Amino acid sequence: LEIEHEQDDSPAAELETAVMNRQVERLLAQLSQEDRTVVVFRTVAELEFQEIADILQQNLSTVKMRYQRAIEK
């Protein structure tokens, strides 16, 4: 999972991006595998909750609950 700055290749922007990437990785690592999967599918892959539920073979409400709980952490 990487964050990229648009149109700013300055050393300061690159450093900020590297710091943000490390923070995101650290936060994701604190989540359970199930919660991390839902967050990545939703935010990185930009899947709809129903698509995630279908892929994971879980109820829609379970997926929404996992996402909300993970974001609140």
Q: Are 41 and 21 in contact (CB under 8 A)?
A: no
The percent of residues in the chain predicted with pLDDT above 70, rounded, is 89
CA–CA gap between residue 39 and residue 33 (Å, rounded): 10
Q: Kindly state the average pLDDT of the residues 7-13.
A: 77
Which pLDDT band, with edges at 50, 70 and 90, does 11 fall under?
confident
The token pair at 63 is 């997926």
- pTM assigned to the model: 0.72
Angle made by CA atoms 33, 18, 68, in degrees to the nearest 5 = 35
